[in-house]
Amino acid sequence: MRVDFPVDERSEKFLRELESDVDVTAINTILLSKRGEDFYNYASIICFCFKEKDLIDLDSVETLPEKVKIWAKKKMLENDPTFLEFFKHLFSLYSSFSQTEEGLSILGKRRSLFPEIYVFQRVKEVYAYRLKSIVRRDCYVVIEDWNTRRDRTREEGQKIDIGAWDPEKESGQCYECKVKFYLKEKEHQLQFLEDIREHSQGKIDVFLASFAPKKVILRQLMSFFPGRELNKINIFGIDELKNL
């Protein structure tokens, strides 16, 4: 089966520019150095704190798990250098945007880089030993004669966040990544993942990945799309990502 994930050069350049930001680079470095509970705690702060004022008073963030608040207080009291570095750069990133609806929307797009980069790097590690494999980000999908750039409109969705393929094993993965999932008006993203799976005859596993807990993602999906089958899409929440 012929599979490819072509990348748009302009989009690739734009992503590089976003990721070269000092704060984004520092936060990504820390996230990628963590696994298990430490990763869970750092990623949860990014997930549930979406405004500058949330970082100023973590206790006021009702959705932030209590165990994360306790962990953060402990790290602050210990003057943990990694945590202080993380918090410094996260606050710098958040405060660089206006705390208006428009500013927070732009900040949200910056925040979405973190799960995407984290999953991309972890998937690259998995496929590293497969010499002919490809792992790409923000890419179109080509499966035999189906080309999403040509055969789908922008409204339907043409690109996937992460695509990976091992031609020798004829198996792959595609991910759509979010900090938190809010898909009320984006059912086409679910359909896109299902279409990829169908066109690949099940050889490409498809995933929704988020820094939010899996139960939260499932609750939102069932609320927004009651009765919709979700058995063709793998859901990766923060508990799955921490062990990726």
Residue 138 shares a structural domain with residue 179: yes
Mean pLDDT, residues 215-238: 89
Residue 140 shares a structural domain with residue 236: yes
Residue 89 shares a structural domain with residue 135: no
- Domain of 178 in residue numbering reads as 3-9+131-241
Q: Is residue 120 part of a domain?
A: no
Residue 98 shares a structural domain with residue 140: no
DSSP annotation of 7 reads B
Residue 146: which CATH number?
Answer: 3.40.1350
Mean pLDDT, residues 211-237: 89
DSSP for 25-79 reads HHHHHHHHT--HHHHHHHHHHHHH--SHHHHH-GGG-TTS-HHHHHHHHHHHHTT
Q: How confident is the model at residue 101 (pLDDT cuts 50, 70, 90)?
A: confident
Query: What is the model's pLDDT at position 183?
Result: 60
Instruction: Give me 216's structure tokens.
Output: 């939260």
CA atoms 155, 158, 164, 168: torsion sign = positive
In angstroms, the Cα distances linking 105 to 26, 98, 201 are 22, 10, 37
Q: Which of 158, 160, 236, 239 is nearest to 204 (CA)?
A: 160
Residue 81 shares a structural domain with residue 145: no
Query: What is the model's pLDDT at position 181?
Result: 66
Query: What is the model's pLDDT at position 220?
Result: 86
Say if residue 182's pLDDT is above 70.
no
Mean pLDDT, residues 60-85: 96
Q: How confident is the model at residue 104 (pLDDT cuts 50, 70, 90)?
A: confident
Give me the number of domains the chain comprises: 2
Mean pLDDT, residues 217-238: 89
Query: What is the model's pLDDT at position 185?
Result: 60
Among 2-11, 55-64, 180-189, the range scoring the smallest mean pLDDT is 180-189
Say if residue 188's pLDDT is above 90.
no
Q: Is residue 124 part of a domain?
A: no
In angstroms, the Cα distances linking 120 to 11, 36, 48, 92, 162 are 16, 17, 22, 24, 6
Q: d(Cα 99, Cα 160) in Å, to the nearest integer?
A: 29
**CB of 211 within 8 A of CB of 238?**
yes
Residue 19 shares a structural domain with residue 95: yes
pTM score, whole prediction: 0.92
